[in-house]
Chain A
Amino acid sequence: MKKLSVRRRHPLAALVVLLIALAATGGLYATFAPADKAKAEESSAQSLAIDEGKKLYQVGCASCHGTGGQGSSDGPSLVGVGAAAVDFQVGTGRMPLQQPGAQAPKKPVAYSQTEIDQLAAYVASLGPGPAQPNKSDYDPAGGDAARGGDLFRTNCAQCHNFIGKGGALTHGKFAPDLGGVTPKHMYEAMETGPQNMPVFPESLLKQKDKQDIIAWLDTVNSDKAEEPGGYGLGGLGPVSEGLFAWVIGLVLLIGVACWVAAHTAKARKS
């Protein structure tokens, strides 16, 4: 102890302490950060994706959204829309836009999922926004369909109809049929509010709420939806039912009437 107290005023003491501190920090860092190499790789993969995404962006998107995603008179700014918005818009074929109109319709997808992810990475790098959700967020198997139905009727049915068969909005805009939309895309749509749809962020509909809504749609408007009453006539309600009653029901019955009228008793010739 004495030696230490004698030499603590030594001119080189500060240097020694500094060296020891550096060595300790370095040692600790070397010990506790074994993932160093992987981190660096991922980060370079990320920047690679951003680079690739940027190239795709310059070719496919920049003419409307601007070279830096800042937007133009032909398309909105993409700063802050997030990866989820890109994954939805490009992943459902809505982007790249076919033609200007009331609303971008769903159409065949132009990019592979890898390219979409690269585009998403680039757009996400422009500003913070909703990321792509994890499977556990949107998996319909984990949702409560009954609760989701109630939420759907409160928040979504005004535009999308009782079971998400779609509906009309003003001036040619529309809320699309949700049959056949993947759960992931539904989740992303709620998070990002594409086209004319409002945004439903976490403060409005929590992750669980969204998952429940997806579970409801999976129950009533998907390939596995049961139709206990028979063929569902598109789920459009009284208009298609009335049309069916006239065109099939009444026409059949009038046909039967003609048949009965044509088969009459013949007077017996004697």
Chain B
Amino acid sequence: MATATDSRRPASKGEKVADWADGRLGIYGLAKANMRKIFPDHWSFMLGEICLYSFIIIILTGVYLTLFFKPSMAELVYDGSYGPMNGIHMTEAYASTLDISFDVRGGLLVRQIHHWAALIFIAAMAVHMMRVFFTGAFRKPREINWLFGFLLLVLGCIAGFTGYSLPDDLLSGTGVRFMQGAIMGMPLVGTYLAMFLYGGEFPGDDVIPRFFSIHVLLVPGIMLGLLVAHLILVFYHKHTQFAGPGRTNKNVVGMPLLPVYMAKAGGFFFLVFGVITVIAGAVTINPIWVLGPYRPDQVSTGAQPDWYMGWTEGMIRMMPGWEWVIPTGHTINFGVFIPLMVVGVIPIAIALYPFFESWLTGDKREHHIADRPRNVPTRTAFGVAWLSWVFMCMIGGGNDLWATHLHLSINSITWFVRIGFFVVPPIVFWITRRICLGLQRRDRDKVLHGRESGIIKRLPHGEFIEVHEPLAQEEMHTLTAHEQYRPLEAGPKVDENGVVRKQGVVERVRTKLSKNYFGDAGQIPKPTAEEYREVTSGHGHH
């Protein structure tokens, strides 16, 4: 601040610059408030950083690619440095991608960094989201930030799909055709929408330039805004932490942003960049030069979208190809229309879960301590079941490769996925919940009876017992720090005047769900201090 300059000694150069900047930007106040911001240390809290850094890498490499890429569907005959495509008709988009790969200095490397970083970006977002989900870090006050993150994931998929389509090669062109089919599958409006998007009959001349605008301008712009908002909210809410001695819902135990986290984060950025660059330098991704330019009359087997769209591919592949021709002569294609309707259900199911849970618990308090997944068995089971649901769709999306590489019949795989889509998630849900309850029992046992030491002792009367070592105080605290909800009571059937109390369906469902979540079957009561004292007082041993 200006007043900080002492008049008795001349200000150093650095001070002068800082003073100048502060007078105009108010940096001092910002820095003072945030420089010593504390962040807890845990590897899983760095998953979001992987997303952030791969996003930055994507933007940097993407800018380089726009310098050379021509988003045009004008046709030309290739005559360039890649021999096996010489004399082939193609669009400028495809030809310029060949040029980027073979003629632009570093072009192929940058293209591969861009694409690998994109795959890793979305994978990291998915893992980051799962971390937040399974630790309950989406609870108040972080629901909005959860939605921001979810939107970033959805937009990441859109950015990925549009980017994958830009080179106009035979693989991505098939994806663009897939999309056109999906749009046309919508009753009434489908054909109009398709004509509008593609600027006429498929493939038209417009889709690549339009995807280009969406890919380099619209979607990244929104993502950047959401990303900043996401980070501001992380600062504002402060980071969650796992339970432990000295850690409460009201503090954050960790290291300050400056200098520790700045150094760590800066170093981590370069590590992420390095790993992605090594992968991009050693492993091919999307070798468009052998795929050939897109032509609507050509198609290849093994045409899949990038992994993050694999579940949509799977839904189309598993859906029987039903279609009706209604009396007006119009076709309703259920084979495409039904998957298109259901496709939104899977992401929305996980996106809205936090609101469902807060409605169920009725808990209006803030939560800054992250849950261990085992301590909320039903939520954890729901999350794993959801993952298995997505995974079933992914298997369906790659059914041909499962068939050729495991020597199976593609028809059997498709039927497995059709049935598994409905059957596997409930089974996974049940198994996961059992595992969580088992782990809770083990924690309870450890707290009350200590850790098995492996030492067998023979008592004077001949009995053998295993010596259990009591846990350290801190460990016991960590294992019992979580809070356990009680199930909602149904409330009396009649009110105080003896009149039958109306109980709505919603309330009854909520009571029942609450019992499932927090009743005897839903969680193992954590050991209480009394139980511990009773067990350790001597006479209650085992």
Contacts and interface: CB of A to CB of B under 8 A. Distances in A.
Interface of A: 102, 145-147, 149-150, 153-154, 157-163, 165-172, 174-175, 216, 219-220, 227-233, 235-246, 248-250, 252-254, 256-258, 260-262, 264-265
Contacts of A147: 87
Interface stretch (B209-217, B230-238, B280-288): B280-288
B264 A239 contact: no
B171 A260 contact: no
A150 B292 contact: yes
Contact of B304 (A158, A163, A165, A238): A238
A228 B297 contact: no
B165 interface: no
Given A158-B300, A239-B398, A246-B307, A229 B88 contact: no
A254 B286 CA distance: 24
Contact of B47 (A219, A241, A257): A257
B279 interface: yes
Specify the main secondary structure of chain B where it touches its partner.
helix
22 contacts: A146-B87, A157-B301, A158-B299, A162-B290, A168-B404, A171-B409, A172-B408, A175-B301, A229-B108, A230-B112, A231-B283, A237-B303, A238-B310, A240-B401, A241-B286, A241-B306, A242-B310, A246-B307, A257-B50, A258-B43, A261-B41, A264-B260
Nearest to A242: B307
B120 interface: yes
Given A161-B300, A264-B41, A145 B84 contact: yes
Specify the main secondary structure of chain A where it touches its partner.
helix
A220 B87 contact: no
A154 B298 contact: yes
B170 A170 contact: no
Interface of B: 41-47, 49-50, 83-88, 101-102, 108, 112, 116, 119-120, 123-124, 127, 170-171, 255, 260, 264, 267-268, 271-272, 275-276, 279, 281-287, 289-292, 295, 297-308, 310, 397-401, 403-404, 407-411
Contact of B298 (A153, A168, A220): A153
A220 B290 contact: yes
Contact of A245 (B87, B119, B260, B267): B119
A239 B287 contact: no
Given A146-B86, A252-B275, A158 B301 contact: yes
Nearest to B295: A153
A166 B302 CA distance: 9
Contact of A238 (B116, B264, B267, B306): B306
Given A149-B84, A153-B292, A237-B171, A167 B275 contact: no
Nearest to B82: A228
Contacts of A265: 255, 260
A251 B146 CA distance: 24
B123 A160 contact: no
Contacts of A163: 290
A165 B84 contact: no
Given A168-B399, A174-B404, A245-B116, A161 B301 contact: yes
A175 B267 CA distance: 48
A248 B298 contact: no
Nearest to A239: B398
Contact of B292 (A149, A159, A238, A256): A149
Given A153-B170, A163-B290, A238-B307, A231 B282 contact: yes
Contacts of A244: 279, 283
B58 to A, nearest CB: 13
